[in-house]
Amino acid sequence: MALLSSADMARWEEDGYLLVENLLSPEETELLQRTCRADAALSQAAMDVRDASGRKTNLSLWNDPGDDLYGLISRSERVVNRMEQMLGDEVYHYHSKLSAKEPKVGGAWEWHQDYGYWYQNGCLLPTMASVFIAIDPATKENGCMQVLRGSHQMGRIDHHFSGEQTGADLERVELARQKFELVYCEMAAGTGLFFHGNLLHRSDPNLSDDPRWGLICCYNTRSNDPVIPHHHPGYRPLSKVPDSALLEWQPAEQHQQRVFLKQTEDKTTRVTADQTEA
C-alpha cells in the first residue's frame, strides 16, 4: 500500500529525508516512553559512545526485531511500507537502536553517513535507510538531528575516526556545507524522520534540562544482501504487523528475550577506524 504521495516521493528523492508528523499517535508515543524508560534490560545493555569532548550517548543495539513493542514498531506497516516505497524494493530489518542523550551530559554525533559504515559491512549499494522516531521532543537545545538537505546525492564519502566515533571527511563536509542547506530537524515526540543512508547528518550535545531519546530502525533492501558476513544480518524476510498491533501489545505477552549487541561485537566503527589508520 502506497502511503507516500507523489509530492512526498519528490521531496524524498531531492532532499534525502522526509519528516512524518504523528507517525506514532499520542497514545502510542506515551506507551513507548513508559516502556523504554522502565526497561532495565535496555539500560543495562547500553554502550557509552563518547564524542571528541568526552560527552557520551547511551546506545542500545539489536539485530532481531523481535515481538516486543520496539519490534512491532520496526515491523509496522506504516514504517515498512514507507521504507519499501522510498527504496523501491522489499526491505528487511538491518538493525535497531535506542539512542539516549541525557540532560547536560548527552554527547554530540559527528557529521557522518550511515552508509559510510554499512559499506564496510559488505553492502555494495546505498539502497538503505533509517527512521528516527522521537521518543522525547527533539530540539536545538537538546541536540536534535541536523542534516545537509540533498547531500545524499553526493554518494558515499570517506570516513575517519574521532573520539569513539567515525565521522565523515571534514574537508569534504565543509565543501558540502557550502552547497547544501543545513536543516535542524526539530521534532515533536512521535514524529518520524526517514533518511537515506548517504544523507550527511550530525547532532549537538544535549546541554538542556530535558532528555532526548530516539528509537532508530534501519533497513536494507533484499537486492542488496551483504557480500561478506558481519555483525548485522543478511536478508531475512520481514514479517509485517498491522498498525493496530502497537496498542494491542501487552508486556505479559513478551515471550522472546531481546538479544543486544555488546560493544565488542559492534565492529562497524572499529573496522572503519582500522582502515583509516592503515
What distance in Å separates the CA atoms of residue 205 and residue 106, rounded to the nearest whole number?
Answer: 5
The string of pLDDT tens digits covering residues 200-256 is 999 999 999 999 999 999 999 999 999 999 999 999 999 999 999 999 998 865 545
Using DSSP's 3-state secondary structure scheme, residue 156 falls into coil
Domain of 43: which CATH number? 2.60.120.620
What distance in Å separates the CA atoms of residue 115 and residue 128, rounded to the nearest whole number?
Answer: 7
Within-domain flag for 114? yes
Number of domains in the chain: 1
Cβ neighbours for 183, distance < 8 A, ≥ 6 positions apart: 146, 147, 148, 149
Ordered strands of the 128-134 beta sheet:
17-20, 192-196, 128-134, 212-221, 91-101, 56-62, 47-50
The string of pLDDT tens digits covering residues 13-59 is 999 999 999 999 999 999 999 999 999 999 999 999 888 888 999 99
What pTM was computed for the model?
A: 0.93
Residues in the chain: 278
* pLDDT over 70 percentage in the chain: 91
Residue 278 has pLDDT above 50, yes or no: no
Residue 18 has φ and ψ, to the nearest 5°, of -150, 125
Domain of residue 32, residue span:
6-277
- pLDDT at residue 255, as a whole number: 45
Within-domain flag for 162? yes
Within-domain flag for 1? no
Within-domain flag for 145? yes
